[in-house]
Amino acid sequence: MPKQMTNADGLLLQWGDRLFYEPVRARKAARASGAARISRPEALRAQIARTVQRVPEVMVKITNRKGTRNGMGAIRAHLDYISRNGQVELEDQEGNLISGRLEVRDLVQMWCSAGRGIEETSTRREAFNVMLSMPPGTDRVAVKDAARAFAREEFGEQRDYVFTAHDDEAHPHVHIVLLARGRNGRRLNPRKADLQRWRERFAQELRDRRVEANATPRRTRGVTRQYERQATKHMRGRGAEIRGQATPRYDPQGEFDLYLPTLSAWRAMSTVLAESFDEDDRRMAKGIAGFVRQMPVVKASLESKNVNATLIAGLPKTPQSGIQSSKKNGPDIEP
């Protein structure tokens, strides 16, 4: 028999929905977002625990940008790259293996003749180059299996794609090349909410394989640093000059004010848990206090003499938690 939900559970779900899924700003009409909501108090507590423990965050990003080379020529070049010119096997949506340069060329020819109307050069994305990644040390087999399951569940049989795992870098990662136009003629147009849903599904597939994984927005963790784009990272590695990237003027108070709704949501949840009769809830409230004090935006604000960070004083005073922190820290999704 399921446990009866209490008033405290209802408050947790309300604030948890805002913190993990809703933009924490003025409430608007319900969005038609694909991101799933946490519907059970137990699931929310598990989500809070993973976040406070700093469980590794999955990374999901689309690496090819709009307006750049995105036609069949670009698709062919990317397939050569992820297959290492035919030396690494690809796998398609039906589980067929594609190995060697000739089979990769056959795949390109099949996609060309499938009536998709993909021109050799195009400014719009005819395929999405998706990369799924986890921190070094993560079980590579589990990452590949989770990526396979993610693609099957998310894209189903209506879209053509191939994927492969790369083992020549420290971060286990999987590349997916997904045709934009489905077999029903509809084009894929993923938005930010879709990318978040993709992260959540990939993280769940990893957890189903006993791999610690989380998928929370940066704002939920108080992370202010943006990760470099792949092209910029490669240029920096080559020592090439990077133009057009002026260093923005940092405003500690403005940065802190942007995160006030997020911090308020964390404070509300810690208050609900601290007043609970359950010892585990009270221990989690203390964990939240320690977690919030270690947020990058909070640490930067407390180090600045020009920031009024009085909200932090309202959190539980004891930063020690019964929740153990994970040693791994993962990359994040690019907006």
pLDDT score recorded for residue 31: 36
Q: 77 with 13, same domain?
A: no
- Per DSSP, 3 falls in state P
Region 209-214: mean pLDDT is: 98
> Between residues 25 and 212, which one has the greater pLDDT?
212
Residue 334 has pLDDT above 80, yes or no: no
Residue 34 has pLDDT above 50, yes or no: no
Residue 116 has pLDDT above 80, yes or no: no
Are 55 and 123 in contact by the 8 Å Cβ rule? The answer is no
Mean pLDDT of the chain: 82
Structure tokens at 17: 């929905």
Q: 63 with 194, same domain?
A: yes
pLDDT score recorded for residue 332: 46
pLDDT score recorded for residue 103: 97
pTM (two decimals): 0.82
pLDDT score recorded for residue 238: 56
286-303 residue pLDDT tens: 999 999 989 998 888 878
- Residue 316 binned pLDDT confidence (cut-offs 50, 70, 90): low
Q: 140 with 160, same domain?
A: yes
pLDDT score recorded for residue 86: 94
The dihedral of CA 261, 264, 268, 274: what is its sign?
positive
CA 96 – CA 237 distance, rounded (Å):
36
Highest mean pLDDT, choosing among 52-56, 63-67, 183-187, 297-301 = 52-56
pLDDT score recorded for residue 313: 63
- Residue 314 binned pLDDT confidence (cut-offs 50, 70, 90): low
Residue 267 has pLDDT above 50, yes or no: yes
Structure tokens at 334: 């690019």
- Residue 279 binned pLDDT confidence (cut-offs 50, 70, 90): very high
Q: Which of 44-53, 96-105, 181-190 has the lowest mean pLDDT?
A: 181-190
- Decide if 233 is inside a domain: no
201: domain CATH number is 3.30.930.30
Q: Which of 37-46, 59-68, 75-84, 240-249 has the lowest mean pLDDT?
A: 240-249
CA 296 – CA 307 distance, rounded (Å):
14
Region 2-13: mean pLDDT is: 80
122-173 residue pLDDT tens: 888 999 999 999 999 999 999 999 999 999 999 987 899 999 999 989 999 9
Residue 182 has pLDDT above 70, yes or no: yes
pLDDT score recorded for residue 227: 47
- Decide if 228 is inside a domain: no
Q: 280 with 189, same domain?
A: no
pLDDT score recorded for residue 158: 85
pLDDT score recorded for residue 311: 61
Task: Count structural domains, the chain.
Answer: 2
Q: 48 with 69, same domain?
A: no
Q: 50 with 87, same domain?
A: no
Q: 71 with 189, same domain?
A: yes
Give the Å distances, CA to CA, from 317 to 38, 54, 60, 282: 28, 20, 36, 12
- Decide if 284 is inside a domain: yes
Region 87-91: mean pLDDT is: 97
Query: Do β-strands 97-98 and 59-62 pair in parallel, antiparallel, or remain unpaired?
Result: unpaired
Long-range contacts made by residues 94-100, C-beta under 8 angstroms, separation at least 24?
98/162
Please tell me whether residue 108 adopts helix, strand or coil conformation.
Answer: helix
> Which residues, 6 or more positions from 197, have their beta carbon under 8 angstroms from its beta carbon?
33, 34, 35, 36
Q: 51 with 63, same domain?
A: no
- Decide if 236 is inside a domain: no
| Lateral strand order in the sheet of 173-179 | 59-62, 127-133, 173-179, 161-166, 90-92, 97-98
Region 260-277: mean pLDDT is: 91
> Between residues 39 and 261, which one has the greater pLDDT?
261
Q: 85 with 44, same domain?
A: no
pLDDT score recorded for residue 141: 98
Residue 85 has pLDDT above 80, yes or no: yes
Q: Which domain holds residue 262?
A: 7-25+39-55+252-314
